[in-house]
């Protein structure tokens, strides 16, 4: 089961008709037979924090491999052949029945009630299904064990759901629709943000989500499910039972939290932890950015294992801010897409690799450029800046003085993915996407992008500091080459024309080189704004 957003509602699961001749005598009748059909829908949790019957902000859906168990009951007895029948969702979002098919008998089905539960249990004795009881799943619910580890996909294996239904008549005859009810209750934690209050003049506060350092439910160490999109943590608890929540987290300083409560099955309650403390911090070139969004000072003796890059520029890098005479908010792609990335630029610790190669040509053919397609596009005209200097007489610092790596890379990816000819940037695109897939970025940053030539100029100007920090964590040192060297340089996303690309030799400075020959292979070192 896949979770979307938070915790409270679970979405449409799927529908499949099952046809064939039944060998179950108990379902024979005089009526015409047709395929037995099911659909599965989640009723959701009631969010008591906001008084909603079903909180649509919290959604889940079943995915391939999820399985439910189905029973059929007639006159207080389980119908032969329909006891804990396993239905598994396939790749099409449909439910496959394991074993012999179930055929629909309109007359017989009028007297049958169908019961379903999730997640499927192969051991039928552990279910203790009592067909004669008002709630045949009562024993299953009361004896259900919630795992202490509910992280990731493990969460749904503790999320017991049940349903009862009758076969429909009319046009949808033979269809049984299950609306699954959550039998457990849900405690939701909204953790505070860690706020960096920069001592650097002119920098906005930098905020990121804080994770529980330790979480205990009823004094048992618990791993909650984390929803990255909302920054919310959730843990299932037994219904109609008092529970206690306690834990610690590392904000501006280590803090503790606690709560207690009791919830009925299918109910959810959010506990919001407030923390007004801020962390005074001086942002410097050479600081590390970590995968969780935390910053580690260049002055720290130790660096976490999750460092992903080194700060190479301090300040708002948005082009309309750094060069207001050249750019506006309208054609500033970085500002438009990531307006809160106002703190600086971060260089990746390692070069990108693709299919085992660490250097490559920039593109495979001279069939135009990737940087100017937007000018004739009705939707995007005027919303980017070109990234082609067009001739050797126009230097990049004169034509494109700002940090345009995000602008250029967006043009490149959109060109490759349908706005232009892929061969104008195919190898660059491959290396870019490979690195994006390999190294995740925290919330609140841009994706990795290929730096512009001026972005690389900024790196070269601080090469000693940056290399020292890269080597400190075992990254790939930036190696300098002389101007016009055919290999070992660092590709920028700034074009000269359809044949030449601007590249950088670090201490050797920037220069243009033929970009469609493997004899001129260069490195791809990514950057992001935060």
CA-CA-CA-CA torsion for 178, 182, 183, 184, nearest 10 degrees? Answer: 160
Whole-angstrom distance, CA of residue 158 vs CA of residue 214: 20
As a residue count, the chain comes to: 530
Q: 355 is written with which tokens?
A: 């299919």
pLDDT score recorded for residue 53: 59
Residue spans of beta strands (DSSP E) within 201-355: 206-209, 212-217, 220-221, 225-227, 232-237, 243-250, 254-261, 267-272, 278-281, 288-290, 295-296, 307-314, 344-348
The residues of the chain that CATH labels 2.60.40.2620 are 2-186
Residue 22 pLDDT greater than 60, yes or no = no
pLDDT tens for each residue of 220-235? 999 999 977 667 899 9
Distance CA 468, CA 476 (A): 11
Q: DSSP code of 108?
A: H
Say if pTM beats, i.e. exceeds, 0.85: no
With bands split at pLDDT 50, 70 and 90, how would you rate the model's confidence at 57? Answer: low
Q: What DSSP character marks residue 149?
A: B
pLDDT at site 15: 27
Q: Report the alpha-carbon angle 520-521-527, nearest 5.
A: 130
pLDDT band at 404 (very low <50, low <70, confident <90, very high): very high
Q: Which of 10-19, 105-114, 183-192, 489-498 has the lowest mean pLDDT?
A: 10-19
Higher pLDDT, 238 or 63: 238
Q: Is residue 477 predicted with pLDDT exceeding 70? A: yes
Answer whether 166's CB lies under 8 Å from 112's CB.
yes
Lowest mean pLDDT among 24-38, 111-125, 456-470: 24-38
254, 213 in Cβ contact below 8 A?
Answer: yes
55 pLDDT band (50/70/90 cuts)?
Answer: low
Strand extents, DSSP E, 252-360: 254-261, 267-272, 278-281, 288-290, 295-296, 307-314, 344-348
Kind of pairing, strands 193-198 and 278-281?
parallel
Residue whose token pair is 């987290």 = 249
- Own/partner pairs, 330-335, CB within 8 angstroms, 24+ separation: 330/382, 330/383, 331/382, 331/383, 331/384, 331/385, 332/407, 333/383, 333/384, 333/406, 333/407, 333/410, 334/403, 334/406, 334/407, 334/446, 334/529
Show the CA angle centred on residue 318, arms to residues 312 and 321, nearest 5°: 115
Tell me which CATH code domain 2-186 carries: 2.60.40.2620
Q: Which residue has the tokens 């009748």?
A: 29
Flag the least confident range among 165-169, 423-427, 512-516: 165-169
Q: What are phi and psi of 346, to 5 degrees?
A: -125, 130
Q: What is the pLDDT of residue 231?
A: 76
């Amino acid at each position: 089961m896949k979770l979307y957003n938070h915790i409270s509602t679970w979405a449409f699961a799927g529908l499949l008709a099952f046809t064939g001749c039944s060998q179950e005598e108990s379902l024979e009748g005089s009526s015409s037979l047709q395929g037995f059909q099911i659909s599965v829908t989640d009723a959701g949790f009631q969010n008591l924090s906001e008084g909603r019957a079903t909180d649509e902000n919290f959604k889940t859906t079943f995915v391939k491999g999820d399985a439910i168990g189905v029973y059929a009951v007639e006159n207080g007895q389980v119908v032969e052949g329909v006891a804990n029948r396993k239905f598994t969702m396939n790749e099409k979002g449909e439910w496959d029945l394991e074993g012999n098919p179930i055929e629909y008998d309109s007359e017989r089905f009028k007297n049958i009630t169908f019961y379903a539960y999730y997640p499927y249990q192969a051991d039928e004795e552990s279910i203790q299904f009592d067909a004669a009881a008002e709630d045949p799943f009562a024993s299953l619910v009361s004896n259900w064990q919630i795992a202490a580890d509910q992280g990731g996909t493990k969460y749904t294996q503790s999320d017991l759901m049940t349903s009862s239904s009758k076969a429909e008549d009319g046009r949808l005859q033979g269809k049984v629709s299950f609306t699954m009810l959550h039998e457990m209750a849900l405690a939701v934690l909204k953790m505070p943000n860690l706020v960096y209050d920069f001592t650097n003049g002119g920098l906005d506060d930098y905020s990121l989500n804080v994770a529980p350092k330790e979480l205990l439910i009823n004094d048992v160490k618990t791993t909650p499910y984390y929803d990255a999109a909302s920054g919310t943590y959730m843990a299932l608890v037994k219904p109609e039972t008092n529970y206690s929540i306690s834990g610690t987290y590392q904000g501006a300083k280590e803090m503790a939290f606690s709560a207690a409560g009791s919830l009925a099955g299918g109910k959810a309650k959010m506990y919001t932890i407030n923390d007004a403390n801020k962390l005074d911090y001086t942002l410097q070139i050479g600081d590390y950015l970590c995968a969780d969004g935390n910053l580690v000072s260049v002055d720290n003796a130790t660096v976490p294992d999750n460092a992903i890059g080194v700060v190479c520029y301090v300040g708002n890098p948005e082009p309309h801010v750094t060069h207001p005479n050249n750019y506006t908010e309208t054609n500033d792609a970085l500002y438009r897409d990531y307006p809160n990335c106002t703190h600086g630029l971060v260089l990746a610790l390692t070069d990108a690799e693709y299919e085992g190669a660490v250097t490559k040509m920039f593109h495979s053919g001279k069939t135009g450029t990737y940087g100017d397609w937007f000018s004739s596009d009705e939707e995007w005209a005027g919303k980017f800046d070109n990234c082609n200097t067009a001739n050797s007489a126009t230097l990049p610092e004169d034509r494109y003085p700002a940090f345009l790596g995000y602008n250029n890379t967006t043009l490149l990816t959109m060109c490759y993915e349908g706005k232009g000819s892929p061969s104008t940037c195919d190898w660059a695109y491959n290396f870019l996407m490979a690195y994006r897939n390999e190294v995740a970025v925290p919330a609140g940053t841009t994706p990795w992008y290929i730096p512009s030539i001026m972005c690389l100029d900024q790196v070269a100007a601080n090469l000693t500091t940056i290399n020292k920090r890269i080597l400190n964590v075992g990254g790939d040192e930036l190696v300098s080459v002389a101007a016009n060297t055919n290999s070992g340089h660092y590709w920028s996303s700034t074009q000269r024309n359809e044949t030449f690309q601007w590249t950088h030799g670090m201490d050797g400075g920037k220069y243009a080189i033929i970009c469609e020959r493997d004899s001129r292979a260069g490195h791809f070192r990514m950057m992001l704004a935060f």
